[in-house]
Structure 1
Amino acid sequence: MSDAAQPTAAEVRAAADAVKTALDRHLRAVERRTGDDDPAVFDAFNALAAAAEVYDELLYDRHDEVTPFEIPAAQDPLPPYAGPEEPHAVSVLIRRDYAVAEPARLLAQAQRVADLDPDGRDDEAGAGVHAALGVVFGEYEADEIASRHLEFGLEEGDSTLWVTAVDDLPEPGEWLAAPFDEADPALVVCRFDVSAVFDEEDELDGDPDGAVPQRT
């Protein structure tokens, strides 16, 4: 960075003061928390994370120095639950991401499916990764693929599961074209996220699965 673009010493000092203010705000919010999903605590956490990140960057740019703290990413909290107290139905929204880590393994698994199909799917199975994904995901349930993903040459990415309350089940076929468009965070009964960003924290806490419940 050029000297002209470097932050001033006053800017670095102001950023440090902002961290101190954010620390005090976060502590006050924690001391006064009203529950596990208290929005004041989440807001204070995010403000502290943002202030610490700014200070860390300015400190490095001005003095070529870093802080000894790992700056957490800002959390995206659920809003307070606003659904029915006694839901008559629930919708379960699931997203799982995979990387195609071993294409050859995926193609081999698709070929095995094709070999067992009396109608024959050799053309599909051998047409490349795109077609092999269609064969595999068309043959196996999503939960089975999740438990056996390594066999299919897949590598797990982030995943999330939301259980949302609804008064009544929608009409058949009503939401199939856009299944997540009407998901309302205020109606989430509970949510479980799994991500590599939680791995280090969860290992320290003794939770190897990395599942982070957002509301129970």
Structure 2
Amino acid sequence: MSDAAQPTAAEVRAAAEAVKTALDRHLAAVERRTGEDDQAVYEAFNELAAAAEVYDELLYDRYDEVTPFEIPGAEDSLPPYAGPEEPNALSVLIRRDYAVAEPQRLMAQAQRVEAAEDEGTGVEVSATVHGALGILFGEFEPDEIASRHKEFGLEEADSTLWVLAADDPADPGEWLETPFDQPDPGSVICRFDVSSVFDDLDDDADDDDLVDGLEEEELEPLDADR
């Protein structure tokens, strides 16, 4: 890493202070916990893990030093399963992030779709990145965009899939107004994560030492194109 790209000493110090603050908040949440699955403790735990990870990365980039902290994987950050033993329904939550790497390619693909539809409106919606995204995601299924993202000028970022159990199916239209409200972590049966952070793992590590998200990436059928 070049000197210009290295974090400053002040940035490392600020990250260390953030860890101290997160430690205090976690301890306070533990002291006030109301049960084994206290949501405040769960959130404080995740904040502490995130702060420690940032500090560890900056410390290494600046001073080539590491901490003795082990940042838990995605599976470790979930509380114990507290959902129904025999679920009658499930929800599958999927998030895929992309970077718009080639805006011109993106708009060119949207223009092809627009020309094929030939609605005769006289308005080139595809002339903007915002409009082009609307056209492409309106024309293609999300799984097809995932498999062809490079054709559309997109670059894959993090993605995750959560499977949640429920006692009964939701009523029609019940959650449509707020479909992305925070899910109950205690109802998560399993999750599958893909992230570039996993690329930093030691290539020579044993398979058993890999985080669960990286192992399960190969088993997850919806993202077999990755």
Uncovered stretches (5+) of structure 2, i.e. residues with no partner: 1-8, 14-44, 218-226
Match of 2:165 in 1: 165
Match of 1:85 in 2: 85
| One-letter amino acid of the counterpart of residue 194, structure 1 | V
How many Å apart are 1:162 and its aligned residue? 0.2
Match of 1:151 in 2: 151
Is the contact made by 2:114 and 2:126 (CA closer than 8 Å) also made in structure 1? no
Match of 1:174 in 2: 174
Match of 2:119 in 1: 119
TM-score (norm 1): 0.62
> Comparing 177-186 with 94-103, which one deviates more in the overlay?
177-186
Matched residues in 1 for 2:130 and 2:83: separation? 40
The verdict on how the C-alpha distance between 1:84 and 1:120 changes in structure 2, with shifts beyond 3 A counting, is farther
Aligned ranges 1:43-122 → 2 under 5 Å: 50=52, 66-67=64-65, 73=71, 75=73, 77-120=77-120
| One-letter amino acid of the counterpart of residue 139, structure 1 | E
Identical counterparts, % of pairs: 56
Is the contact made by 2:101 and 2:154 (CA closer than 8 Å) also made in structure 1? yes
| One-letter amino acid of the counterpart of residue 80, structure 1 | P
Matched residues in 1 for 2:93 and 2:122: separation? 33
The verdict on how the C-alpha distance between 1:71 and 1:171 changes in structure 2, with shifts beyond 3 A counting, is same
Match of 2:40 in 1: none
Matched residues in 1 for 2:172 and 2:125: separation? 32
Match of 1:198 in 2: 198
Is the contact made by 1:105 and 1:152 (CA closer than 8 Å) also made in structure 2? yes
| One-letter amino acid of the counterpart of residue 164, structure 1 | L
Question: Per-residue displacement from partner, 1:56-95 (whole Å, max 9, x unpaired)?
Answer: 95xx9xxx96436797545551000001111111100011
Is the contact made by 1:124 and 1:135 (CA closer than 8 Å) also made in structure 2? no
Question: Per-residue displacement from partner, 1:21-50 (whole Å, max 9, x unpaired)?
Answer: xxxxxxxxxxxxxxxxxxxxxx8xx78x94
Secondary structure of the corresponding residue to residue 132 of structure 2: helix
| One-letter amino acid of the counterpart of residue 88, structure 1 | N
Matched residues in 2 for 1:171 and 1:150: separation? 38
How many Å apart are 1:174 and its aligned residue? 1.5
Equivalences, count: 163
Matched residues in 1 for 2:63 and 2:199: separation? 27
Match of 1:13 in 2: none
Q: CA RMSD in A?
A: 3.7
The verdict on how the C-alpha distance between 1:112 and 1:79 changes in structure 2, with shifts beyond 3 A counting, is same
> Comparing 100-109 with 69-78, which one deviates more in the overlay?
69-78
Matched residues in 2 for 1:117 and 1:164: separation? 39
Which protein is bigger by CA-based radius of gyration?
A: 1
> Comparing 115-124 with 67-76, which one deviates more in the overlay?
67-76
| One-letter amino acid of the counterpart of residue 162, structure 1 | W
Match of 2:188 in 1: 188
Matched residues in 1 for 2:129 and 2:63: separation? 47
Matched residues in 1 for 2:152 and 2:96: separation? 15
